[in-house]
Structure 1
Amino acid sequence: MARVSFPIHVVAIFLLCTSALQSAFSTTGLLSPPHHGARPPMVLPLFLSPPNSSRASTDSRRRHLQGSEKPNARMSLHDDLLLNGYYTTRLWIGTPPQKFALIVDTGSTVTYVPCSNCDQCGKHQDPKFQPKESSTYHPVKCNIDCNCDENRVQCVYERQYAEMSSSSGVLGEDLVSFGNLSGFPPQQAVFGCENMETGDLYSQHADGIMGLGRGDLSIVDQLVGKGVISDSFSLCYGGMEIGGGAMVLGAISPPSDMVFSYSDPVRSPYYNIDLKELHVGGKPLSLSQNIFDKKYGSVLDSGTTYGYLPEEAFLAFKEAIMKEVQSLKKIRGPDPSYNDICFSGAGSDISQLSSSFPAVDMIFGNGHKLTLSPENYLFRHSKVQGAYCLGIFQNGKDPTTLLGGIIVRNTLVTYDREHSKIGFWKTNCSELWDRLHLSSPSHALPPVSNTTTNQTNHLAPTLAPTFAPMPPHIDNPETPVGQITFDMFTSMNISELKPRTVELAEFIAHELDVNITQVHLLGVTAKVNGSLLKWAILPVSGGESISNSSAMEIISRFSEHRVQLPETFGSCQLTQWHVEPLETRTWRQKHYQLLVMAIVITLLVGLSASGVWLLWRRKKQNLNAYKPVGMIVPEQELQAL
């Protein structure tokens, strides 16, 4: 995983080739209008929680949110902070509406999507925007307020990020929709229509960026300027164990115990906070005065994955953490490309991390304190069970403090631009709809209006995943697991799929980190729009059962969206999985793999000889191929170096 932010992205989804799902948030009256006459906020869930999730919060202080009397916009959002490097929301553009998955990014000021004439745009989640197919689209003509193309006909934009990815194209205007539960009709908005993208932008799964920063082209500024929403928005990212979260466009009534920091709107276009001190385990770090106030200051960037501190602060932070975790073993990180600081021996129970790792306090200039739990500065070690790594790094020689999404997991962050402050409230972000007493939408569709007839016909169907409840025995190391079964839907038809099932099994084995001999296809059923496959993960050859630790790792890869398949297998979704204890397996199931093993090995040898073994690696390289940027543009978005 790259160390820079928004388009970082090991593109993974729910056993998904091209899509994902999940949702969430919390407090009495939180969504009620902040004052009489204020416009209602739009609530956009970042990720739908599994309907049968057994990991609901048991916090006795949990408040219940009542839905606003006025309508809200609720949309299912996707992806995962650490696995993809971002969260995305769905936006519909045009008439009839065309759907796009956009990274929510407070560090960007432009919203853009790939345009139909872009020959230098990568393969993304959705088709490119077709201006000619929208009856309401028109280009933004060259004027005194914009940069113009060579012929001085149309306005253009250019953005380059510190990890050397870039986006450029023309500006257009069209109707933008936020979902069929929106409290207001589609709005005219200016956005970027890409004709070139490079770097991570080229290879990422998401289609583009939703710019939430300050600036005339920001989607927030445009909606505020039209009087559609109040000058505020909020983000709530899910935690380490369960993804989820929400985005609210518009003002909210803050919880009584929300912690605020002043945010200087003049200092830069980035959202900064007045950070003064860091405490580790209750002890202040010995740092130079104003260490967090240099250059851009302390910046919140939802498009950045991790946290980055100035050199002096990072070294002091690292040393303080090392002193607090002396009982744990320091180990190598999961990626040899990075010198990660990792520790083993803390156990797999996220709720118990605070017994092994210290709390970290952020002290603001007004004396308010935001306490970070271990999940706000750690990420899981992907190769060692019960091991974790620091998700805070040194920001090169840049004195800016950059606070990415990991810092605010399970924290509602309100960007109150009207009052120049940012609020923080610790909560479980993956329980929004339960706390709102609202049913979470299984599909987010654009609002129906007179100008958008039959628009739902233009949207690809989406399967709603179902989950077997976590078997009681899975947490009991004395009870062995017999097998794990799961169903997967793919848009490929059965005749195309059958010759490639061995190849598909190989990719599944790789993504689940199991032996190819453990992966068995139990059946394929033809469906109207594709095929449904039933798979089983069996014990390793010669073994009677799957260890509980291995079973938990496989389950976590499912539930945390850590399974990625090539797009050559079409649009794929995990529809359900089930864990079976050893005693439920028949004699034939227990010994079937011995019969098949020789056939599988023979097939793999044949495939390797023909070069198919390297197909996925080559495909990934091809997707990442791009032409370098020929120039450095004057305006750059903030990203960690």
Structure 2
Amino acid sequence: MEQLAAWDRARHAHLFDGSVGGIVSFSLQRSADFDFASVYLAPIKLGFPPQEFKVLIDTGSEVLWVKSNACANCPRYNRLGMPLNFFESAASSTAGSLPCSNQFCAAATRTAATHCVSHQCSYTIQYADGSGTSGLYMTDRFYLSSISPDSMVASSSALVVFGVSTYQSGALVDTYNEFDGIFGFGRGDLSVMSQLSSRAITPRVFSHCLKGEGTGGGILVLGQILEPGIVYTPLVPSQRHYNLYLQSIVVNGQMLPIDPIVFATSTRHGTIVDSGTNMIYITEKAYDPLVNAIML
């Protein structure tokens, strides 16, 4: 539990530092490592022929990146002895580097730690806990399992821009990590979801269903699912993350005595939904009344 909390603290410091096609689905897996059993991974395929990776689904960041086989300091196995996967650009006939003149690179330089190295679009991401990753942006095939309105499944692929990390530091090189990269589902234009939406391949909507019992699992869907009984809540506009209008907390039918101003959204405050965080965190002014109500 302490390890999970430490992971979240470092992550939160980083977070606050600053008509279309059909739906696409991905299965989810829970980490096999007991210490990180609350981490959900999705298998994805990149390149041609396709190379498979297990990536951490992260609604708190934008970019999809995987480890490159050129990463010298990345661990090759996790602490359970299971091999990790690395992207081999030379093995993909459809892989291409991203020149600095590309429109995507120009957009990235405005919103992320992006720069040019030998005329190639590159990135460096430094996290508040001291860990970081750097590498190159590339273009290649990204494989999709599309579901039609009559529930027929069809496989296809689309060219997307993603990162291949050639260097990592800090917690990212620890062997307890089971994932091969991070799949960012943030609200910005750099995310794969936004890229697919801009080409009318999928809507700019996704559903993230986490199965909580047993071995975990679930499903990640790009596109809107029309199921009865779904309850919606609006998102705060013009925010980097998925901020909610949290107004109150109710326990056993009783509204807790918490001033709504506690939940107000500002530059460094507010309530967000973040798939990369393991536990629920609330401010102390809301935490104490909540614990007292539960303990009664």
Question: Which category describes the TM-score, using the shorter chain as reference length?
Answer: 0.7 to 0.9
Partner secondary structure for residue 88 of structure 1:
strand
Which residue in 1 is equivalent to 2:255?
284
Shift of 1:218: 0.6
Contact 2:25 2:146 in 1 (8 A): no
Deviation, 1:41, is 1.0
Which digits, 9 at most, give the CA deviation of each residue in 1:378-411, with x for residues without a partner?
xxxxxxxxxxxxxxxxxxxxxxxxxxxxxxxxxx
Q: Which amino acid aligns with 1:269?
A: R
Aligned to 1:103: 56
| TM-aligned CA deviation for residue 6 of structure 1 | 10
Secondary structure of the structure 2 residue equivalent to 1:270:
coil
Contact 1:174 1:189 in 2 (8 A): yes
Give distance in 1, aligned partners of 2:68 and 2:215: 35
Closer/same/farther in 2, CA of residues 179 and 230 from structure 1, 3 Å limit? closer
Helix, strand or coil: the match of 1:290?
helix
TM-score with structure 2 setting the length: 0.80
- Residue 232 of structure 2 is matched in structure 1 by 260
Deviation at 1:315, TM superposition (A): 2.0
| Deviation string, structure 1 residues 209-244 (Cα, Å, up to 9, x no partner) | 111111222111111111111121101111245623
Q: Distance in 2 between matches of 1:234 and 1:84?
A: 21
Matched AA of 1:127: N
Correspondences of 1:104-123 after superposition (within 5 Å): 104-123=57-76
Gaps in structure 1 of 5+ consecutive residues = 9-36, 47-76, 324-641
> Contact between 1:106 and 1:213, CA under 8 Å: does it hold in 2?
yes
TM-score by length of 1: 0.38
Q: CA RMSD in A?
A: 2.6
Match in the other structure for 1:159: 125
CA contact (8 A) 1:7 1:86 kept: no
Is 1:148 paired with 2:115? yes
Paired with 1:199 and 1:129, the residues of 2 have a C-alpha distance of 21
**TM-aligned CA deviation for residue 307 of structure 1:** 0.7
Q: Which residue, out of 164, 173, 176, partners 2:139?
A: 173
Highest relative contact order (Cα 8 Å, sep 6+), 1 or 2? 2
Contact 1:111 1:210 in 2 (8 A): yes
- 1:258 match: secondary structure: coil
Secondary structure (helix, strand or coil) at the match of 1:149 reads strand
Structure ranking higher in strand proportion: 2
Q: C-alpha distance in 1, partners of 2:245/2:227? A: 19
Q: What is the deviation of 1:178?
A: 3.3
AA aligned to 1:173 is T
**Which residue identity lines up with residue 291 of structure 2 in the other structure?**
K
Say which of 194, 202, 208 aligns to 1:229.
202
Distance 2:293 2:214 in 1: 25
Change (3 A) 1:184 1:223: farther
Partner of 1:218: 191
Task: Pick closer, same or farther for the CA change 1:82–1:291 going to 2, 3 Å.
Answer: farther
Residues 316-365 of structure 1 show CA distances to partners (whole Å, capped at 9, x for unaligned) of 22222222xxxxxxxxxxxxxxxxxxxxxxxxxxxxxxxxxxxxxxxxxx
Aligned mates of 2:183, 2:56 — CA distance in 1: 6
Please tell me whether the aligned partners of residues 99 and 126 of structure 1 are also in contact (alpha carbons under 8 angstroms): no
Residue identity in the other structure for 1:148: H
Q: Which residue of 1 aligns with 2:166?
A: 195
The structure that has the greater radius of gyration is 1
Name the SS of the counterpart of 2:285 in structure 1: helix
Distance 1:180 1:276, change over 3 A: closer
| Paired residues of 2:54 and 2:179 also in contact (CA < 8 A) | yes
Query: Would you say the 8 A contact 1:173–1:189 is kept in 2?
Result: yes
Size of the alignment, in residue pairs?
262
Question: How far apart, CA to CA, are the structure 1 residues paired with 2:10 and 2:222?
Answer: 22
What SS is found at the alignment partner of 2:194? Answer: helix
Contact kept in structure 2, 1:138 and 1:173, CA below 8 Å:
yes
After TM superposition, give the deviation of residue 85 of structure 1 in Å: 3.7
Contact persistence 1:40–1:183 (CA under 8 A): no
| One-letter identity of the residue aligned with 1:2 | L
- CA distance in 2 between counterparts of 1:41 and 1:164 reads 38
State the distance in 1 between where 2:158 and 2:44 align. 12
Matched-pair identity in %: 30
State the AA in 2 paired with 1:314.
Y
Distance 1:221 1:82 in 2: 33
Distance 2:88 2:139 in 1: 13
- C-alpha distance in 2 between matches for 1:90 and 1:221: 19
Equivalent-residue separation in structure 1 for 2:281 and 2:47 (angstroms): 38
Q: Choose which of 229, 237, 249 in structure 1 pairs with 2:222.
A: 249
Query: In the aligned structure 2, how far is the partner of 1:242 from the partner of 1:101?
Result: 16
Partner residue in 2 for 1:40 = 22
In the alignment, the residues of structure 2 paired with residue 281 and residue 164 of structure 1 have an alpha-carbon distance, to the nearest angstrom, of 42
Counterpart code for 2:31: D
Going from structure 1 to structure 2, the CA distance change for 1:264 and 1:294 (only over 3 Å counts) comes to: closer
Q: Which amino acid aligns with 1:275?
A: L
Contact 2:30 2:39 in 1 (8 A): no
Report if the CA contact (8 A) 2:140-2:160 is conserved: yes
CA displacement at 1:275 relative to structure 2: 0.9
2:31 to 75, 79, 91: 79
Output one character per residue of 1:55-109: Cα deviation in whole Å (capped at 9) or x when no partner. xxxxxxxxxxxxxxxxxxxxxx443797334111111111111111011111110
Alignment of 1:12-23 (within 5 A): none
Could you give the per-residue CA deviations for residues 129-153 of structure 1, whole angstroms, max 9, x where no partner exists? 11111111111111344332344x1
8 Å Cα contact 2:63/2:191 also seen in 1 = yes
In structure 2, relative to structure 1, the CA distance for the partners of 1:278 and 1:218 (3 Å cut) is same
- Do structure 1's residue 135 and structure 2's residue 137 form an aligned pair? no
2:280 corresponds to 1:307: yes
Q: Could you say what secondary structure the match of 1:209 adopts? A: strand
Question: Counterparts of 1:452-531 in structure 2 under 5 Å?
Answer: none
1:2 aligned to 2:1? no
Residue in structure 1 matched with residue 43 of structure 2 by the alignment: 90
**Structure 2, gaps ≥5 residues long:** 12-18, 78-82, 148-152
Measure, in 2, the Cα distance between the counterparts of 1:235 and 1:165. Answer: 27
Equivalent-residue separation in structure 1 for 2:271 and 2:172 (angstroms): 25
**Alpha-carbon distance in structure 1 between the residues aligned to 2:291 and 2:23:** 40
2:240 to 246, 252, 269: 269
Compute the displacement of 1:7 (Å). 10
Closer, same or farther in 2 for the Cα pair 1:180/1:232, shift >3 Å? closer
**Amino acid in structure 1 at the alignment position of 2:94:** T
